[in-house]
Structure 1
Amino acid sequence: MSHILVISGSPSATSKTEAIGDHVARRLAEYEWHAGHLKVRTLPAAPLLSADTTDPAIAEALERVARADGIVLATPTYKASFSGLLKTFLDLLPQYGFRDKAVLPLATGGSMAHLLVLDYALRPVAHSLGARHVVQSFFLLNEHLTFREGEPQLRPEGTRLLDDVIEQFRKSLIPPT
């Protein structure tokens, strides 16, 4: 079975970005992909910050990236860029850590003014890591996602657009065998 890995870089345990990552992983699993979610905030801080790739948790996270056929990069927008937590993790990857992989960049933020984070910050990093293909990005306004009884609820306008992007990403992947 082929593998998709959602990598989310939010430092918050109640993150809308992580909720979107979970949603995308569930949707891709509907197509018989094995979809996992790596929440970078759960990795041990000292080994992550010191780039200790021999730490078992860090080594296992890097192995999950290596095994993946497709990567979804999910980040909140901070200071008009992607999170430092995600950047710290991406810096641990080998130079061509996304070779032969399709990548879907996703970002959440409070204003459309931050939309360019995808094309001017996250997309170039995915390309520099050797991605085979980087599909159309998706930016979700915070107002399009709410929580009801602890479960994320996407508003219809957000759902429709996200579904289109997920379908593009799915089509860019090598079919599961």
Structure 2
Amino acid sequence: MQRYQWDPQNRHEQNIEIAKCLIGNSGLFLRDGSDAEGHANNLVHPALSGLIIKFFYTGLAAVSKLFSEVFAKEVPRVMVALATTALKVVLDELASGQGEVNFRVPIYMPVYTEILGLMSKCNTSDIHCAKTKALRTQWAQIGSNGIASQESGVTHCGFDVDLD
């Protein structure tokens, strides 16, 4: 699975700063540069792609096998939002420097809701709507083909997508 670029010497303090940077900057952890035409690659970081394919399509009890009619053609938007929220939890743990954070509905529902809002924002642009739809379809195809055999008062994260 693809990962974020951490400190090569694995210094804890440096990795905390990297996690804070990924969470900040309007949710840099969600993007992966730009495409050939210069349009932002929103909601497509390789870590997110890898998590979605591994989590939803790998294993005997994979949710895609249990609900094949839902996952066969594309990854549902709500599942992309769930995976993105899970990545945010991991980055929050790293950024806090305190270890585990509580992944509970009252704490992370605002993040999940915000991610769904960002996906809706992408849908307001023909280019980005097509790109995110294609990604969800690609993830499902890759997964289906077996290629991938501490509380915080978060209410708004400040993430954004670029509709260049």
What is the TM-score when the length of structure 1 is the normalising length? 0.28
The structure whose RCO (Cα within 8 Å, separation 6+) is larger is 2
**Higher fraction of strand:** 1
Using structure 2 for the length normalisation, give the TM-score. 0.30
Query: Larger Rg: 1 or 2?
Result: 2
